[in-house]
Structure 1
Protein backbone atom coordinates (compact mmCIF):
# COMPACT_ATOMS: atom_id res chain seq x y z
CA UNK A 1 0.00 0.00 0.00
CA UNK A 2 2.74 2.44 -0.78
CA UNK A 3 1.60 6.02 -0.94
CA UNK A 4 -1.91 5.25 0.32
CA UNK A 5 -2.81 6.04 3.91
CA UNK A 6 -4.81 3.31 5.62
CA UNK A 7 -7.97 4.45 7.39
CA UNK A 8 -9.05 2.65 10.55
CA UNK A 9 -11.86 3.35 12.97
CA UNK A 10 -10.65 4.05 16.52
CA UNK A 11 -13.02 3.34 19.40
CA UNK A 12 -12.57 5.19 22.71
CA UNK A 13 -13.92 3.21 25.65
CA UNK A 14 -14.10 4.33 29.26
CA UNK A 15 -12.43 1.16 30.54
CA UNK A 16 -13.98 -1.74 28.58
CA UNK A 17 -11.74 -1.92 25.49
CA UNK A 18 -10.44 -5.42 26.23
CA UNK A 19 -13.96 -6.72 26.98
CA UNK A 20 -15.31 -5.08 23.80
CA UNK A 21 -12.58 -6.55 21.59
CA UNK A 22 -13.21 -10.03 22.99
CA UNK A 23 -16.94 -9.61 22.50
CA UNK A 24 -16.71 -8.30 18.93
CA UNK A 25 -14.33 -11.02 17.74
CA UNK A 26 -16.84 -13.55 19.09
CA UNK A 27 -19.73 -11.89 17.19
CA UNK A 28 -18.08 -11.53 13.76
CA UNK A 29 -16.51 -14.26 11.62
CA UNK A 30 -12.96 -13.83 10.31
CA UNK A 31 -12.08 -11.75 13.38
CA UNK A 32 -9.21 -11.66 15.83
CA UNK A 33 -7.41 -9.55 18.38
CA UNK A 34 -4.10 -8.51 16.82
CA UNK A 35 -2.41 -6.90 19.82
CA UNK A 36 -3.02 -5.21 23.15
CA UNK A 37 -0.60 -2.67 24.60
CA UNK A 38 -1.34 -1.75 28.19
CA UNK A 39 -0.78 1.50 30.06
CA UNK A 40 2.47 1.45 32.03
CA UNK A 41 2.49 0.79 35.75
CA UNK A 42 1.12 3.90 37.46
CA UNK A 43 4.00 3.72 39.95
CA UNK A 44 6.29 4.75 37.08
CA UNK A 45 4.24 7.76 35.99
CA UNK A 46 1.51 9.55 37.96
CA UNK A 47 -0.21 10.60 34.68
CA UNK A 48 -1.49 7.03 34.40
CA UNK A 49 -3.11 6.87 37.82
CA UNK A 50 -5.75 4.15 37.84
CA UNK A 51 -4.97 3.02 34.29
CA UNK A 52 -2.43 0.30 35.01
CA UNK A 53 -3.41 -2.81 33.05
CA UNK A 54 -5.97 -0.96 30.91
CA UNK A 55 -5.74 -0.83 27.10
CA UNK A 56 -3.51 1.94 25.79
CA UNK A 57 -3.68 0.64 22.22
CA UNK A 58 -5.73 -2.34 21.10
CA UNK A 59 -5.69 -3.59 17.54
CA UNK A 60 -8.31 -6.01 16.25
CA UNK A 61 -9.89 -7.15 13.01
CA UNK A 62 -13.63 -7.70 12.52
CA UNK A 63 -14.62 -9.64 9.43
CA UNK A 64 -11.52 -8.36 7.64
CA UNK A 65 -11.81 -4.71 8.78
CA UNK A 66 -9.03 -3.36 11.01
CA UNK A 67 -9.89 -1.37 14.14
CA UNK A 68 -7.96 0.24 16.96
CA UNK A 69 -9.27 1.05 20.42
CA UNK A 70 -8.26 2.35 23.80
CA UNK A 71 -9.39 2.86 27.36
CA UNK A 72 -9.41 6.63 27.70
CA UNK A 73 -11.76 7.30 30.59
CA UNK A 74 -15.24 8.83 30.66
CA UNK A 75 -14.54 12.09 28.79
CA UNK A 76 -16.10 10.96 25.50
CA UNK A 77 -19.13 8.79 24.77
CA UNK A 78 -20.35 7.01 21.66
CA UNK A 79 -23.43 8.40 19.95
CA UNK A 80 -25.53 7.67 16.88
CA UNK A 81 -23.64 10.16 14.72
CA UNK A 82 -21.25 7.30 13.96
CA UNK A 83 -22.41 3.76 13.24
CA UNK A 84 -21.04 0.64 11.62
CA UNK A 85 -23.04 -0.95 8.80
CA UNK A 86 -23.31 -4.73 8.76
CA UNK A 87 -24.56 -5.89 5.37
CA UNK A 88 -26.32 -9.24 5.70
CA UNK A 89 -27.05 -11.94 3.14
CA UNK A 90 -30.53 -12.82 4.43
CA UNK A 91 -33.02 -12.56 7.29
CA UNK A 92 -31.30 -15.29 9.29
CA UNK A 93 -28.07 -13.31 9.27
CA UNK A 94 -29.91 -10.11 10.22
CA UNK A 95 -31.56 -11.96 13.10
CA UNK A 96 -28.25 -13.41 14.30
CA UNK A 97 -26.39 -10.08 14.36
CA UNK A 98 -29.39 -8.28 15.84
CA UNK A 99 -29.64 -10.76 18.70
CA UNK A 100 -25.94 -10.33 19.47
CA UNK A 101 -25.59 -6.55 19.04
CA UNK A 102 -28.88 -4.96 20.10
CA UNK A 103 -28.83 -4.24 23.83
CA UNK A 104 -30.65 -0.89 24.08
CA UNK A 105 -34.26 -1.40 22.91
CA UNK A 106 -35.12 2.30 23.08
CA UNK A 107 -32.46 3.07 20.47
CA UNK A 108 -33.71 0.53 17.90
CA UNK A 109 -35.07 2.04 14.70
CA UNK A 110 -34.93 1.31 10.97
CA UNK A 111 -32.27 -1.38 11.35
CA UNK A 112 -30.16 0.67 13.79
CA UNK A 113 -29.27 -0.72 17.18
CA UNK A 114 -26.85 -0.01 19.99
CA UNK A 115 -24.64 -2.62 21.65
CA UNK A 116 -23.85 -2.97 25.35
CA UNK A 117 -20.84 -0.65 24.98
CA UNK A 118 -22.88 2.14 23.37
CA UNK A 119 -21.62 1.59 19.80
CA UNK A 120 -24.30 2.00 17.10
CA UNK A 121 -24.76 -0.55 14.33
CA UNK A 122 -26.90 -0.70 11.20
CA UNK A 123 -27.93 -4.29 10.51
CA UNK A 124 -29.30 -4.29 6.97
CA UNK A 125 -29.86 -6.68 4.06
CA UNK A 126 -27.45 -6.51 1.14
CA UNK A 127 -30.31 -5.48 -1.16
CA UNK A 128 -31.62 -2.71 1.10
CA UNK A 129 -31.66 -0.23 -1.80
CA UNK A 130 -34.09 -2.50 -3.69
CA UNK A 131 -36.26 -2.98 -0.61
CA UNK A 132 -36.91 0.74 -0.08
CA UNK A 133 -37.49 1.96 -3.63
CA UNK A 134 -41.20 2.62 -3.19
CA UNK A 135 -42.75 5.05 -0.71
CA UNK A 136 -44.79 2.20 0.81
CA UNK A 137 -41.59 0.30 1.55
CA UNK A 138 -39.93 3.32 3.12
CA UNK A 139 -42.99 3.83 5.31
CA UNK A 140 -42.81 0.22 6.52
CA UNK A 141 -39.07 0.48 7.13
CA UNK A 142 -39.54 3.66 9.19
CA UNK A 143 -41.77 1.72 11.58
CA UNK A 144 -39.47 -1.27 11.91
CA UNK A 145 -36.92 -1.70 14.63
CA UNK A 146 -35.05 -4.70 13.23
CA UNK A 147 -35.35 -4.93 9.44
CA UNK A 148 -37.77 -7.66 8.42
CA UNK A 149 -37.18 -8.31 4.73
CA UNK A 150 -40.54 -10.00 4.05
CA UNK A 151 -42.47 -6.97 5.34
CA UNK A 152 -40.62 -4.77 2.86
CA UNK A 153 -41.26 -7.24 0.02
CA UNK A 154 -44.94 -7.36 0.96
CA UNK A 155 -45.14 -3.56 0.99
CA UNK A 156 -43.93 -3.48 -2.63
CA UNK A 157 -46.57 -6.00 -3.65
CA UNK A 158 -49.28 -3.75 -2.30
Structure 2
Protein backbone atom coordinates (compact mmCIF):
# COMPACT_ATOMS: atom_id res chain seq x y z
CA UNK A 1 0.00 0.00 0.00
CA UNK A 2 1.24 3.46 -0.90
CA UNK A 3 1.33 5.64 2.21
CA UNK A 4 0.96 9.05 0.50
CA UNK A 5 -1.27 9.70 -2.51
CA UNK A 6 -2.19 12.85 -4.42
CA UNK A 7 -5.78 13.85 -3.62
CA UNK A 8 -7.54 15.86 -6.33
CA UNK A 9 -10.64 17.98 -5.68
CA UNK A 10 -12.96 18.21 -8.67
CA UNK A 11 -16.21 20.12 -8.97
CA UNK A 12 -18.37 17.20 -10.16
CA UNK A 13 -16.31 15.33 -12.76
CA UNK A 14 -13.85 13.20 -10.77
CA UNK A 15 -14.98 10.00 -12.47
CA UNK A 16 -14.66 11.55 -15.95
CA UNK A 17 -11.16 12.80 -15.07
CA UNK A 18 -10.07 9.41 -13.70
CA UNK A 19 -11.36 7.67 -16.83
CA UNK A 20 -9.55 10.23 -19.01
CA UNK A 21 -6.23 9.81 -17.16
CA UNK A 22 -6.39 6.01 -17.04
CA UNK A 23 -7.00 5.96 -20.81
CA UNK A 24 -3.75 7.90 -21.38
CA UNK A 25 -1.22 6.18 -19.12
CA UNK A 26 -0.13 2.54 -19.23
CA UNK A 27 -0.35 0.41 -16.10
CA UNK A 28 -3.40 2.41 -15.01
CA UNK A 29 -6.81 1.51 -13.65
CA UNK A 30 -9.83 2.62 -11.68
CA UNK A 31 -9.45 0.97 -8.27
CA UNK A 32 -12.76 1.88 -6.63
CA UNK A 33 -15.68 4.26 -6.82
CA UNK A 34 -17.42 5.56 -3.70
CA UNK A 35 -21.02 6.62 -4.23
CA UNK A 36 -23.29 8.76 -2.11
CA UNK A 37 -25.87 6.89 -0.09
CA UNK A 38 -29.19 7.90 1.41
CA UNK A 39 -27.51 10.47 3.66
CA UNK A 40 -25.60 12.21 0.82
CA UNK A 41 -23.65 14.33 0.42
CA UNK A 42 -24.82 14.18 -3.22
CA UNK A 43 -27.79 12.46 -4.81
CA UNK A 44 -27.99 8.77 -3.94
CA UNK A 45 -25.77 6.78 -6.31
CA UNK A 46 -23.75 9.77 -7.53
CA UNK A 47 -19.95 9.54 -7.45
CA UNK A 48 -18.53 11.04 -4.29
CA UNK A 49 -14.95 9.83 -4.64
CA UNK A 50 -12.80 7.63 -6.81
CA UNK A 51 -9.47 5.87 -6.37
CA UNK A 52 -7.31 5.22 -9.41
CA UNK A 53 -3.74 4.43 -10.40
CA UNK A 54 -1.58 5.95 -13.12
CA UNK A 55 1.59 4.02 -13.94
CA UNK A 56 1.15 2.32 -10.56
CA UNK A 57 0.92 5.66 -8.67
CA UNK A 58 -2.17 5.83 -6.46
CA UNK A 59 -4.48 8.84 -6.72
CA UNK A 60 -7.67 9.78 -4.92
CA UNK A 61 -10.27 12.18 -6.30
CA UNK A 62 -13.36 13.81 -4.81
CA UNK A 63 -16.39 15.52 -6.26
CA UNK A 64 -16.27 18.34 -3.75
CA UNK A 65 -18.07 21.07 -5.65
CA UNK A 66 -16.82 24.42 -6.94
CA UNK A 67 -15.28 25.57 -3.67
CA UNK A 68 -11.65 25.03 -4.78
CA UNK A 69 -9.87 24.97 -8.13
CA UNK A 70 -6.51 23.70 -9.32
CA UNK A 71 -3.48 25.95 -9.78
CA UNK A 72 -0.04 25.28 -11.29
CA UNK A 73 1.39 25.51 -7.76
CA UNK A 74 0.84 21.74 -7.64
CA UNK A 75 1.49 19.73 -10.79
CA UNK A 76 1.96 16.16 -11.93
CA UNK A 77 5.55 15.63 -13.12
CA UNK A 78 5.86 12.97 -15.82
CA UNK A 79 9.31 11.61 -16.75
CA UNK A 80 9.43 10.67 -20.44
CA UNK A 81 12.05 8.48 -22.06
CA UNK A 82 11.51 9.53 -25.69
CA UNK A 83 10.27 12.43 -27.79
CA UNK A 84 7.49 10.15 -28.99
CA UNK A 85 6.28 9.77 -25.39
CA UNK A 86 6.51 13.54 -24.82
CA UNK A 87 4.54 14.19 -28.02
CA UNK A 88 1.87 11.59 -27.22
CA UNK A 89 1.27 12.76 -23.64
CA UNK A 90 1.35 16.40 -24.73
CA UNK A 91 -1.31 15.79 -27.37
CA UNK A 92 -3.57 13.67 -25.18
CA UNK A 93 -3.37 15.70 -21.97
CA UNK A 94 -3.59 18.91 -23.97
CA UNK A 95 -6.81 17.88 -25.71
CA UNK A 96 -9.18 20.55 -24.40
CA UNK A 97 -6.45 22.02 -22.22
CA UNK A 98 -3.89 24.78 -22.51
CA UNK A 99 -0.14 24.50 -23.18
CA UNK A 100 2.19 26.44 -20.93
CA UNK A 101 5.89 27.29 -21.12
CA UNK A 102 8.73 24.87 -20.32
CA UNK A 103 6.83 21.62 -20.79
CA UNK A 104 3.84 22.48 -18.60
CA UNK A 105 0.31 21.84 -19.78
CA UNK A 106 -3.01 22.38 -18.06
CA UNK A 107 -5.55 19.71 -18.99
CA UNK A 108 -9.27 20.20 -19.60
CA UNK A 109 -9.98 19.66 -15.89
CA UNK A 110 -7.52 22.36 -14.79
CA UNK A 111 -4.82 19.97 -13.51
CA UNK A 112 -1.25 21.03 -14.39
CA UNK A 113 1.19 18.50 -15.80
CA UNK A 114 4.90 18.75 -16.51
CA UNK A 115 5.82 16.55 -19.48
CA UNK A 116 9.59 16.29 -19.19
CA UNK A 117 12.14 14.16 -21.04
CA UNK A 118 14.60 12.41 -18.72
CA UNK A 119 17.35 13.89 -20.89
CA UNK A 120 16.62 17.36 -19.52
CA UNK A 121 17.69 16.51 -15.97
CA UNK A 122 20.91 14.92 -17.19
CA UNK A 123 21.77 17.93 -19.37
CA UNK A 124 20.93 20.48 -16.67
CA UNK A 125 23.15 18.68 -14.16
CA UNK A 126 26.23 18.70 -16.37
CA UNK A 127 29.22 20.01 -14.39
CA UNK A 128 30.05 22.34 -17.32
CA UNK A 129 28.08 25.46 -16.32
CA UNK A 130 28.08 26.87 -19.86
CA UNK A 131 26.52 23.70 -21.29
CA UNK A 132 23.83 23.53 -18.60
CA UNK A 133 23.13 27.28 -19.01
CA UNK A 134 22.59 26.82 -22.75
CA UNK A 135 20.16 24.00 -22.05
CA UNK A 136 18.28 26.12 -19.49
CA UNK A 137 17.98 29.00 -21.95
CA UNK A 138 16.73 26.63 -24.65
CA UNK A 139 14.16 25.09 -22.30
CA UNK A 140 12.90 28.51 -21.20
CA UNK A 141 12.13 29.31 -24.84
CA UNK A 142 10.13 26.13 -25.43
CA UNK A 143 6.47 25.34 -24.90
CA UNK A 144 6.51 21.56 -25.47
CA UNK A 145 10.00 20.29 -24.67
CA UNK A 146 12.04 19.09 -27.63
CA UNK A 147 14.84 16.62 -26.91
CA UNK A 148 16.72 17.35 -30.14
CA UNK A 149 16.59 21.09 -29.45
CA UNK A 150 17.85 20.60 -25.90
CA UNK A 151 20.69 18.41 -27.13
CA UNK A 152 21.64 20.96 -29.82
CA UNK A 153 21.78 23.66 -27.13
CA UNK A 154 23.94 21.39 -24.99
CA UNK A 155 26.40 20.96 -27.87
CA UNK A 156 26.39 24.72 -28.54
CA UNK A 157 24.78 24.42 -31.97
User: What band does the TM-score fall into relative to the shorter chain?
Assistant: 0.7 to 0.9
Which ranges of 4 or more aligned residues in structure 1 deviate by more than 4 Å? none
Residue 128 of structure 1 and its aligned partner are, at CA, apart by: 1.6
Residue 39 of structure 1 and its aligned partner are, at CA, apart by: 1.3
The answer to which of 86-95 and 124-133 deviates more is 124-133
CA distance in 2, matches of 1:152, 1:61: 31
Deviation digits for residues 21-50 of structure 1 (CA, Å, limit 9, x no counterpart): 11111000000001101112xxx44x63x5
Residue 59 of structure 1 and its aligned partner are, at CA, apart by: 0.8
TM-score by length of 2: 0.88
TM-score by length of 1: 0.87
CA distance in 1, matches of 2:18, 2:46: 13
1:104 to 97, 106, 116: 97
Question: Does 2:87 align with 1:89?
Answer: no
CA distance in 1, matches of 2:71, 2:27: 26
1:1-158 to 2 correspondences below 5 Å = 6-40=3-37, 44-45=38-39, 48=41, 51-102=43-94, 103-105=96-98, 107-132=99-124, 133=126, 134-158=132-156
Deviation digits for residues 92-116 of structure 1 (CA, Å, limit 9, x no counterpart): 00000000112433x5110111111
Deviation digits for residues 38-79 of structure 1 (CA, Å, limit 9, x no counterpart): 112xxx44x63x544332221111110011111000000000
The answer to which of 146-155 and 5-14 deviates more is 5-14
SS of the counterpart of 1:117?
coil
Residues matched between the structures, number: 149
| Structure 1 spans left out of the alignment, 5+ residues | none
The answer to which of 129-138 and 85-94 deviates more is 129-138
Is the Cα contact below 8 Å between 2:119 and 2:147 reproduced in 1? no
Is the Cα contact below 8 Å between 1:15 and 1:54 reproduced in 2? no
CA distance in 2, matches of 1:36, 1:72: 14
Report the aligned-residue RMSD: 1.7
| Structure 2 spans left out of the alignment, 5+ residues | 127-131
